[in-house]
Amino acid sequence: MSERVTVTGPPSGSPRPPHRAAEDRDEPDPAPVRSLMRVQAGHAALTCAIVALVSGGLPLLFAWEPALSRVRLFGVRLPWLVLSAVVPVVWVAVARRHVRLAERAERDFAAMARRE
């Protein structure tokens, strides 16, 4: 039988990294990080608003104008065509836009952090 071993931390003989002063650390200032988070939260809120508008607006549109529900294109009713062809394209476009804006904000933040 093998003996059980409990690991509680690094071996006592391992060298510890030297202690660095707070100003020498690679951690960014909290204020610019909060600014980046605010920008990205704004982009996320706008993305959610667009998705909610599309998701909630289509049923309202078809309820407000029932004649649109009876329209057929290529043998398929318009609401089904919109749900299966238009909505996914809009969501992909909105998602790509969101990612592009978030990456731009991160690049701007990284450039600003390098300058300081």
What predicted TM-score, i.e. pTM, was given to this entire model? 0.63
Nearest-angstrom CA–CA distance, 97 and 51: 12
Residue 5 lies in a domain: no
More confident residue, 29 or 94: 94
> In this predicted model, what pLDDT tens digit does every residue of 31-76 receive, in sequence order?
778 888 899 999 999 999 999 998 889 889 988 988 988 889 888 8
| pLDDT value, residue 45 | 94
Full residue range of the structural domain in which residue 86 is found: 29-115
Give a yes or no: residue 23 inside a domain: no
CA distance 64 to 10: 67
Residue 113 three-state SS: helix
- Classify residue 9: in a domain, yes or no: no
**Counted domains in the chain:** 1
Mean pLDDT of the chain: 82
Do residues 87 and 59 touch, judged by C-beta distance below 8 A?
no
Residue 42 lies in a domain: yes
The reply to whether 102 falls in a domain is yes
- Categorize the per-residue pLDDT at 89 as very low, low, confident or very high, splitting at 50, 70 and 90: very high
**DSSP H helical segments within 9-86, as ranges?**
30-64, 67-70, 78-81
